[in-house]
């Protein structure tokens, strides 16, 4: 941690990146405060802190996306971080072989279930800020959670990420984790990967997990079912933008068909899968394709549960206890996990 960082803030990397990020934070605070004073919140129910962070993350995402190289963009994303208090409630242990990632273990104790978490970031980024969201997942169940560090695009197009996810699942089974006590979870692109992993495991004939949670999943990579215009309607309210999604889709599907169900789950036959719980916000750019995916799954008779929050945008669950909607979302996830898995009473963690 930088010695110049105030409490609750981590500054790292180039000073130009730090300074630009801090200025973006100040600019977001001033702009949102002025707009709210004149016009009120951008969307009904948006709190000031939610609106400021959304504006800040949107600008940071734009700058990272427009950097001349992926390496610089990824470094820029990690230049200004706000570690959540939840990180102090988990131990984080790195794993380097045979798969790469980190264990997030609740210090107060975990239940018997194990969570395999697949992070979002358009398949192109894995910001250190994602640790906040992963810790929330680990604490909400609560469960020992393995967060996979899978290969990223554009360096590694499909199916590299799916291969890494299958390897992580196999590794957990080999380590003695019972499938009925194993839950999959992912957000955004990681939710896309979560759904693809379920399909791949079914097709391989492997033992299936107890179920899966897909937070704001990317379900139609090529926007072939859900038009780009549907994305544009929610662009002012969200931090990822349609131009970013289109570029990531091209990087991911360098030689793959965007209609491959393992790429775009909206084309998948979801029958024969364990229960899946999907969450979304109606103001995110992926809202239309998520709703269409759920409708198709329900028409197939798949065991799928769906909750959508009227005024929320992408990955709103990351706000933890700062947002009533996020609190409610994690409560519902916990109830879903308890319903589908053989969860035992809490046990102490050595």
The residue annotated as part of the active site, out of 17, 102, 130, 314, is 314
2 a catalytic residue: no
Task: Identify which of 190, 102, 113 has the alpha carbon closest to the alpha carbon of residue 146.
Answer: 102
62 a catalytic residue: no
Residues 6+ apart with CB under 8 A from 156: none
> What kind and span of H or E run contains 182?
strand 182-187
The residue annotated as part of the active site, out of 84, 129, 140, 188, is 188
Residues β-bridged to residue 94 = 102
For the chain, how far is it from start to end, CA to CA, in angstroms?
27
Residues in the chain: 350
Cβ neighbours of 174 (radius 10 Å): 9
Asked whether 18 and 12 are in contact (CB, 8 A), the reply is: yes
> In whole angstroms, what is the distance from residue 83 CA to residue 23 CA?
19
156 a catalytic residue: no
The residue annotated as part of the active site, out of 102, 284, 326, 341, is 284
Task: Identify which of 172, 198, 49 has the alpha carbon closest to the alpha carbon of residue 113.
Answer: 172
φ, ψ (nearest 5 deg) of residue 51: -70, -40
Q: Are strands 111-118 and 182-187 parallel, antiparallel or unpaired?
A: parallel
Catalytic residue positions, numbered = 188, 284, 314
């Amino acid at each position: 941690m930088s010695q110049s960082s105030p409490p609750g803030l981590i500054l790292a990397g180039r000073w130009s990146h730090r300074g630009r990020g801090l200025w973006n934070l100040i600019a977001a605070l001033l702009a949102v405060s002025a707009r709210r004073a004149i016009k009120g919140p951008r969307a009904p129910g948006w709190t000031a802190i939610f609106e400021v962070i959304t504006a800040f993350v949107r600008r940071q995402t734009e700058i990272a996306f427009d950097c001349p190289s992926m390496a610089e963009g990824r470094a820029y994303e990690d230049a200004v971080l706000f570690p959540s208090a939840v990180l102090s409630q988990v131990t984080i242990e790195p794993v380097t072989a045979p798969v790469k990632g980190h264990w997030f273990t609740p210090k107060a104790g975990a239940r018997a279930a194990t969570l395999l978490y697949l992070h979002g970031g358009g398949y192109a980024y894995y910001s250190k800020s994602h640790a906040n969201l992963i810790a929330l997942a680990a604490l909400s169940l609560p469960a020992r959670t393995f967060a996979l560090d899978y290969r990223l695009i554009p360096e590694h197009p499909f199916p590299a990420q799916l291969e890494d996810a299958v390897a992580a699942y196999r590794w957990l089974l080999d380590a003695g984790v019972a499938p009925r006590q194993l839950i999959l979870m992912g957000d955004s692109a990681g939710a896309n990967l979560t759904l693809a992993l379920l399909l791949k495991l079914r097709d391989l004939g492997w033992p299936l997990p107890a179920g899966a949670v897909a937070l704001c999943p990317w379900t139609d990579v090529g926007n072939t079912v859900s038009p780009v215009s549907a994305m544009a309607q929610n662009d002012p309210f969200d931090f990822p933008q349609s131009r970013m999604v289109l570029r990531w889709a091209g990087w991911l599907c360098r030689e793959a068909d965007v209609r491959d169900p393992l790429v775009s789950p909206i084309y998948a036959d979801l029958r024969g899968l364990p229960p899946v719980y999907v969450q979304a916000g109606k103001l995110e750019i992926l809202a239309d394709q998520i709703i269409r995916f759920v409708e198709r799954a329900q028409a197939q008779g798949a065991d799928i549960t769906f909750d959508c929050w009227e005024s929320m945008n992408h990955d709103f669950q990351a706000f933890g206890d700062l947002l009533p909607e996020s609190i409610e979302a994690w409560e519902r996830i916990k109830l879903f996990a308890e319903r589908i898995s053989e969860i035992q009473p809490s046990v102490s963690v050595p």
